Structure 1
Amino acid sequence: MQFKATTPENYISQIPKDRIPHFEKLRKTIVENLPKGFEEQMSYGMIGYVVPKNVYPKGYHCDNKLPLPFINIASQKNFIALYHMGIYANPELLNWFVKEYPKHCKQKLDMGKSCIRFKKNSEIPFNLIAELVKKISVQEWIELYEKNIKR
């Protein structure tokens, strides 16, 4: 689901009411744990956390007018999604997350390449998300991106 939103607050106001408290807590968890240098903005119709162009002027290889994406959160039709590009680009980080997830959540891990899907709002492992968010600095993300993703 994409919403016509120009700010994170506007985005949140459009999601289903029962998801708002969980979504706001997810956003707060990310903001409070995100390493310095990342910036919150609307990105691809979702709330995004990016490396701003003043830090990484090359931008995103798919559209270099856009800043380099790192994390996005979205309210999809049947779940809340967390998209973490570091998990996609770093197998060690992915393995760590997959191993840690059952220690924090009763629900089976439901994920794609960079997408972690939370179908039960009450089962979002906020402490684990906080740990995940802290694991990559802006400079580490740029280096990882240039090494593994950018073609």
Structure 2
Amino acid sequence: MQSTATSIEAYLEEIPEERKIAFTKLRETITENIPKGFVEQMSYGMIGYVVPHSIYPGGYHCEPKLPLPFINIASQKNFIALYHMGIYAKPKLLNWFVTEYPKHSTLKLDMGKSCIRFKKMNQMPFDLIAELVQKMSVQEWIICYESAFKK
């Protein structure tokens, strides 16, 4: 479910009232912990954290006009989603996250390849998300991305 919002402010206005507090806290957790160099912007109809062209001129291999995506957050129909390309591209990071998750939540981990789904807004593990966000610098992400995706 992609938004047609063209700004972060417009996207935030679209979020259902019952999710605003959790979504705002998720966004704050990311912006307070993401390493220097990533830029927050609208990306794929969601709020994204990307490597700008000023740092990585080649952009995203699927669409070089777009900056290299790293993290996206979205209010989907039935959940809040955190898309983290690092856990998709780096098995060691995925294994760390899967191992740590039960230490921070009593809920079953609900995730796909890069998507972590949160259905219970009052039980999001913000401290774990903060740790996850800190685990990969821009340079580490570029190296990981190039070795995993760029041919």
TM range (shorter): over 0.9
Partner of 1:91: 91
Deviation, 1:3, is 1.8
Partner of 2:129: 129
Distance 1:6 1:127 in 2: 30
Percentage of pairs with the same residue: 72
TM-score, length of structure 2 as denominator length: 0.98
Instruction: Map 1:1-151; keep pairs closer than 5 Å.
Output: 1-151=1-151
Q: CA RMSD in A?
A: 0.6
Shift of 1:105: 0.7
* Cα distance, 1:150 vs structure 2: 1.5
CA displacement, residues 49-69 of structure 1 (integer Å, 9 cap, x when unaligned): 000001000000000000000
Query: Per-residue displacement from partner, 1:27-85 (whole Å, max 9, x unpaired)?
Result: 00000000000000000000000000010000000000000000000000000000000
Deviation at 1:8, TM superposition (A): 1.4
In structure 2, distance between residues paired with 1:99 and 1:24: 26
**d(CA) in 2 for partners of 1:96, 1:8:** 30
TM-score normalised over the length of structure 1: 0.98
The Cα of 1:118 is off from its aligned counterpart by 0.2
Q: Which amino acid aligns with 1:122?
A: N
Q: Which amino acid aligns with 1:30?
A: I
Q: CA deviation at 1:149?
A: 1.3
Give secondary structure in 2 for the equivalent of 1:81.
strand
Q: Which runs of 4+ in 1 moved over 3 A?
A: none
- What's the offset of the Cα at 1:140? 0.3
| Unaligned 5+ runs, structure 2 | none
Please give the alpha-carbon distance, in whole angstroms, between the structure 2 residues aligned to 1:61 and 1:71: 16
CA distance in 2, matches of 1:81, 1:123: 14
